[in-house]
A and B are shown apart, each in its own frame.
Chain A
């Protein structure tokens, strides 16, 4: 029999279609679902009735199991809750409290899905893993280096969350949906008669199903018994004039417009937050524009490094269109990005991903 491949199954349409496709194409596969978070821990944050795609709910495990049965493959649930809390949830909370806006999906991909899960897959005898991510992996014909490329369906591209992958991880990962558009995947799911073919999608962070991060952080700290100081402070303009009060800087994120509770002649946005002084600074749209940023903790994905300034398109948010820039290597290994045109809401703590065409050159965290 051919080498075993482990399919990471979330119970959603994409990973379910991967399982059905690979089975059809004759791969020797097993389905695994990672139990990452116990949704019952903070029940007040449950998604509204009818919402779907909350990861790790019993419903999703049920769906994944049904799909595995339908496709006719062995299926297992593995518990990675402890690692997920250590590597993803706790850093997420810390970052938020430090006034940055972290992306847990990148941490999860780097430390859980393509690390702990890959190890687990290896443990049970699988040579590689397959996931429902929209991205492509190629190998350089001369150097043999593994390269990560954007999905053919750029509107679904998920490389913004995959910049942490190492060469070893890329060499052992299959993204069977990378060359498909979403409608093709949905059509395939229907053609395979998958029980989840019509399931909706979720765009929220999996462990905060209702999208209220501040309430999650408050609830998480309360559960941990962390006694927090009063988090109240002033909302000030760039000139330092107080225009309002707030009940915790972690409720605000750069670029946010709604929920400020401040009346002003022109629309106001959060320009920055300072957790130490509990100050939230607001200003007009112009004040959100930045021409430069510095990227730390760079992972060189398809490129091997940078010895001289180079041109790249840089993406600073998931749905951000990569913007043309010149990238400069710094002596300490960081990279300075100078955009051709100023970009709106550069947010510390988010990822910055450097693209060269469809190639993911490198990625890191915005300082």
Chain B
């Protein structure tokens, strides 16, 4: 069976030129970037080339780029790195963040920090006024994601960052879903810290970066050697950084994906009744469509579509693979039933119009079948 991939917000395929860069540095540039000899210098050059490529992607100075193992580490470094410098300080985030931020904040709460979760409305967008209302002199760090991974909704980062700055707080944004996909310029956004993940834009897993604005002090998460200007200990992952740099340098931003996403959404809405877009339909990533199907179990639809050769997702998978209703959709005011009847389609540059048309047909058939079944099974209760 032919399998088509519509789950790019989970991860993306490694681009061919990236794979080449990865294997070339793994095979040939094995030195330790901290060594003073020829081999170390070659590795250091690769690393710094990659740092310049990421800096170019983010519109910042290369010295402001810290390589990490990925989005989760970048988020943790940002939050713990600031908050731990100010014991018992106030931390602000939103209810729709990725677990890498939410669970880091939960830990900060256990460490006697005061944590405020900002709500969102049905649009899935944090209102800057909500932030203004909670900031005070003890607020150390504010962390609001650039785009949400489930709905694709874009947050009003410049306004939020300006408010945090006025209040004297450090502003962090998790830009894992935007960096490498739409323009992300750290200076224009006005942020102090910004998380990037390589595997969301064609680099392999295990490499990411944190933008740290010049002048922002961070305490480290890891204790060890003096790598990355004493902000991230551990021998540098040169092949990973090099691959991420190559992915950033050869990048075509994902604006072209918008037409395919719109074709998909239009096609589904035209052919299936009782479909709703979750979140703001305009202020969102060009590749993401989170749709709610009345009377459908999203998890069953994900399995049915996979068995027809289309990879999509619902909720977030836990360790056993079982699916919980999305905390993002619940925070947006959806009932657990509505949250469970939602499915996320996230496209990428390699998708084609033929694949999209095939997916529209498969969705139409799956929904018709699923609705026929829930009518046949007399209990009328929905699964999960």
Shortest Cβ distance from residue A108 to the other chain B in the assembled complex, whole angstroms: 16
Measured CB to CB, the nearest residue on chain A to B308 is A125
Residues A125 and B369 in contact in the complex (CB < 8 Å), given A30-B307, A76-B303, A119-B377? yes
| A35 CB to nearest chain B CB (Å) | 4
Cα of A65 to Cα of B320 in the assembled complex, Å: 10
Contacts of A78 in B (CB 8 A): 299, 303, 322, 384
Q: B297, B306, B308, B322 — which one has the most chain A CB atoms within 10 A of its CB?
A: B322
> In the docked arrangement, what's the CA distance between A300 and B307, Å?
36
What is the CA–CA distance of A24 and B240 in the complex, to the nearest angstrom?
A: 42
Minimum CB–CB distance from A172 to chain B (whole Å) comes to 12
Contact A79 B307 (CB under 8 A): no
Tell whether, in the assembled complex, residue A119 and residue B373 are in contact, meaning their CB atoms are under 8 Å apart: yes
- In B367-384, the 8 Å CB interface with A consists of 369-370, 373, 377, 383-384
Give A336 Cβ to nearest chain B Cβ, in Å: 31
Q: A58-B320, A61-B321 are in contact. Are A74 and B299 (CB under 8 A)?
A: no
B319 contacts partner chain A, Cβ-Cβ < 8 Å: yes
From 327 to 384 in chain B, residues with beta carbon under 8 angstroms from any chain A beta carbon are 366, 369-370, 373, 377, 383-384
Residue from B301, B303, B369, B373 having most chain A Cβ neighbours under 10 A: B303
A78–B373 CA distance with the chains assembled, in angstroms:
17
B321 adjacent to A123 (CB under 8 Å): no
A122 contacts the other chain (CB 8 A): yes
Contact indicator per residue, chain A 82-112, by CB within 8 Å of chain B (1) or not (0): 1100000000000000000000000000000
Whether B33 sits at the interface, judged by CB under 8 Å, is no
- The answer to whether A79 and B304 touch across the interface, beta carbons within 8 angstroms, is no
- Chain A residues near B373: list those with CB within 8 A: 119, 122-123
Q: A265 to nearest B CB, angstroms?
A: 54
Given the complex of chains A and B, what is the CA–CA distance between A356 and B370 in angstroms? 39
Q: How far is the CB of A32 from chain B (nearest CB, A)?
A: 8
Does A21 reach chain B (CB closer than 8 Å)?
no
> Is B218 at the interface (CB under 8 A from chain A)?
no
A30-B307, A122-B373 are known contacts. Are A58 and B383 too (CB-CB below 8 A)?
no
Decide yes or no: A123 and B320 within 8 Å by CB, A76-B303, A82-B384 being known contacts.
no
A80 within 8 A of B: yes
A305 CB, min distance to chain B CBs, angstroms: 22
User: Chain A residues with Cβ under 8 A from B320's Cβ?
Assistant: 35, 58, 61, 77
Chain B residues, Cβ within 8 Å of A83? 383
Contact B297 A123 (CB under 8 A): yes
Q: Does B323 contact A (CB under 8 A)?
A: yes
Q: Which residues of B contact A4 (CB under 8 A)?
A: 307
**Closest partner residue, chain B, to A77 (CB atom):** B321
Cα–Cα distance between A79 and B297 once the two chains are bound (Å): 12
Q: How many B residues touch A, CB cutoff 8 Å?
A: 22
Among candidates A65, A77, A123, residue contacting B383 with C-beta atoms closer than 8 Å: A123
Instruction: Tell me if A323 counts as interface (CB < 8 A to partner B).
Output: no
Cα-based distance from A347 to B304 in the complex (angstroms):
44
Q: A78-B299, A119-B383 are in contact. Are A125 and B322 (CB under 8 A)?
A: no
A122 to B374, CA, bound (A): 10
Contact between B384 and A79, CB atoms less than 8 A apart: yes
CB pair A120–B319 under 8 Å, yes or no, is no
Q: Does B300 contact A (CB under 8 A)?
A: yes
Verify if A210 is at the interface (C-beta below 8 Å from B).
no
A contact residues around B323 at 8 Å (CB) = 79
Interfacial chain B residues near A58, Cβ < 8 Å: 319-320
Q: Which residues of A have CB within 8 Å of B322?
A: 35, 77-79, 81
Query: What's the Cα separation between A79 and B320 when bound, in Å?
Result: 10
| A79-B324 Cα distance, complex, nearest whole Å | 8
| CB nearest neighbor in B for A119 | B377
B306 touches A79 (CB 8 A): no
The answer on a CB contact under 8 Å between B383 and A124 is no
- Residue of chain B at shortest CB distance from A116: B383
Counting chain A CB atoms within 10 Å of each CB, the highest count among B307, B324, B377 belongs to B307
Shortest B293–chain A CB gap in Å is 12
Cα A122 to Cα B321 with chains together (Å): 20
Determine the residue in chain A with the shortest Cβ distance to B304.
A124
Choose among A61, A74, A77, A123 the residue that contacts B306 (Cβ–Cβ < 8 A): A74
Report the minimum CB–CB distance from A128 to chain B (whole Å): 14
Find chain A residues with CB under 8 A from B383 CB: 80, 83, 116, 119-120, 123
Q: Which 8 A-B pairs have CB atoms at the shortest separation, nearest pair first? A: A77-B321, A79-B322, A123-B300, A124-B303, A35-B322, A124-B304, A61-B320, A119-B377
**Given A79-B324, A123-B304, 11 further pairs, Cβ under 8 A:** A35-B320, A61-B320, A74-B306, A83-B383, A119-B383, A120-B383, A123-B297, A123-B300, A123-B303, A123-B370, A125-B369
Can you spell out 5 A-B residue pairs with CB atoms less than 8 angstroms apart? A4-B307, A76-B303, A76-B306, A119-B383, A124-B307
Q: Write the residues of chain B forming the contact surface with A, with a CB cutoff of 8 angstroms.
A: 297, 299-301, 303-304, 306-308, 319-324, 366, 369-370, 373, 377, 383-384
